[in-house]
Amino acid sequence: MIRIIIGILLLLVSFSNVVTQGAKPGLEGAEGLGYRAMTFALFLLGVWLVSSGIRKRQKAAGKKTETAWQFLREFFKNPVLFLQKNAAESRPSKFFFVLWVTGMAMLLGKLDLWIFNTGMAPNWTMIWILALALGIIFGALNYWVLGSLFHLGVMICKGKKAYRASRNLKVYTGLPAYLALVTVAVANTVFYGNQFFSLPVNAVLDFILQFLAMAAAALTIYLGYQVALKVQETRPIPTLIVFVVIPAVIYLYLFTGFSFLTGRTEPPSFVIYNQRASEMMFKGDFNAAEGLYTLALKEVPEKDTASQANILQNLGMLYTLKGDPAKAKDFYTASLNFIAEGGSEYYSTLGILAILNDKTDEAIGHLKKAVELDETNSDAHKFLGEIYLGQHGDKYADPETALPYNKTAFELTEDITVTYSLALNYFSLGDFVNALPLLSTLEENLPGNPVVYSMLGQIYFASNDMETAKGYFKAVVELDPSMANQFSAEIKALLTKKE
C-alpha cells in the first residue's frame, strides 16, 4: 500500500510540474529540457510504483498478474504467433492497455489542430491531459470502426467470418505504429516543450523520429498481411492488395500529404496555419494567432522565401495591433531578408517601418514608390489610406485623398483592418450609406468594439432611429466610459432621457 501511495504522490508531482511548465513558456533551453526530463522520470517512477504495488496486492490474493512490459516483450517476440493464440479471445492479454495506447496515439496526432480550431494556442499540458483522459474512448472507437473495416477486408479476401478476431487483429497489429506515435510525442515533449509549436525542430532528431514512425508503420502493414493469411486464412493475391497496397498508400498519404486517389496535393500545413492565424488575428484573438503564425514559420520550407516574408509581415501586423511597435519592427525588418531589394514589396515594407518609426514623410515616399511599381500592392494602398485618414498623425489627414487608396485596398484584400479604414473613411466624409454595411460587418467580426458602436450609433442618430442609436451609445459607455466625453449635447440628452 505504501508503494501505491508514494507512486500516486509522484504522479501528482509530475502532473503539477507539467502544469507549471505550461504556465511558464519561458522555461526553455537546457533548463527546460532538464525540467521536463525530471518530470518524465518522476512520472515513470510513479507509474512503476503504483503498478508494482497493485501487482503485489494481487499476487498476495492469489491472482495471476502480467506487467505491460512483460506483455510487450511477449508480443514483439513473435507477434503473429501471439495473435494466432489470442485473436479469438473476447479480451486478449492487456486488452484495455492496448486500447488506451491506440486512442492516445490517435489523439496525439490530431489534438494540436483541434486546439487551434477552438481558438487556443497549443501546449503539451492540454494535449497530454486530453490524450490520457480520452485515450480509452478513442481506442474503443478504433476497435469497433476500424476493426469492422478490417473484417470487411477479410470478407473481400474470402477469409473466415470471425468478426471478433478481426477486431482484435486490427487493434493489436496497429500496436507498433501507435507505440511509435506515442514515443514521438513523448520525445517532442521532453526535448522541445511548448517551443515545439513555435520554433524549428532539430533536423537530426526529427529524422530519427520520422524514421521510427515509418518503420513502425511498415511493421504494422506486415503484421496485418501475415495475420490475415495465417489467422483469418484469406487468399494471398487479394490479401496483398487489401492489406499491403492499400494501407501503404494510406500511410504514404499521411506521411507526405499526397492523395493518389485525387491526384492533388493537400495544402501545406504552413499555408493552413497562416490562413487560420489571420482569421484569429482579425477576430482579436491575438494569442491564438501568434501560436499559429509561429507554427507556420516553423513549417515553411527554407526555399519558400515569399511565404517566409508573408508570415513575418503578418507577425509584424499582429504586434502592431497588440500595441507593441518594437516587436512589430523586428518582424518587418526580418522580412526584408526574404524580399527582393528594389521591388514593390520591398518599398512597402520600408514604408511600414517608417510609420512605426514615426517618419510619416519618409513612409509616404516609400509607399507611393511601391504603388508606382505595382498597383496591386494592397499593403501600400492600405497604409497610404491610413496616413491620409490621420491614423498616423494629423499632418496629412485628408479623407478625400485617403478614399481612393482605401477603396483599392478593400478591392484587393477584404481583411478587417482594411474594412475598418474604409468604413471610417466613408464615415468621415458623411457617406453613411456606404459606411453602414461595412460597419455592420465590423460589428459581426469585432464584437465589443466601442469605436464601431459609436459610429453606428451616430449613423442611426442621424437617420432619426433614436431607439437603435441609444442602444449603441449605451454599449459605448459600458465598454469605454471615457468616450462619453466626445458625445454631443444631443446624444448626452438622449442617454439621460427616461424611457
364-406 pLDDT, tens digit per residue, is: 999 999 999 999 999 999 999 999 999 998 899 999 999 999 9
pLDDT above 60: residue 27: no
Kindly report the pTM of this predicted structure: 0.53
Kindly report, residue by residue over 327-373, the tens digit of the pLDDT: 999 999 999 999 999 999 999 999 999 999 999 999 999 999 999 99
Averaged over 92-114, what is the pLDDT? 82
Tell me the residue type at 8.
I
182 band by pLDDT with thresholds 50, 70 and 90: confident
Task: Find out whether 278 and 418 touch, Cβ atoms under 8 Å.
Answer: no
Kindly report, residue by residue over 188-230, the tens digit of the pLDDT: 777 777 666 655 455 566 677 778 878 888 999 999 999 999 9
Give the model's pLDDT for residue 265. 44
For residue 183, how many other CB atoms are within 10 A of its CB?
15
The interaxial angle of helices 95-108 and 124-156, nearest 10 deg, is 110
122 band by pLDDT with thresholds 50, 70 and 90: low
Give the model's pLDDT for residue 35. 62
Q: Measure CA 154 to chain center.
A: 37
Long-range pairs, 28-33, Cβ under 8 A, ≥24: 28/193, 28/194, 28/195, 32/193, 32/195, 33/190, 33/191, 33/193
Distance, in Å, from the CA atom of 248 to the CA atom of 113, rounded to the nearest integer, reads 24
Distance, in Å, from the CA atom of 219 to the CA atom of 394, rounded to the nearest integer, reads 69
Question: Residue 434, SS3?
Answer: helix
Strand segments, DSSP code E, in 13-164 are none
Winning range, highest mean pLDDT, from 5-14, 262-271, 407-416, 458-467:
458-467
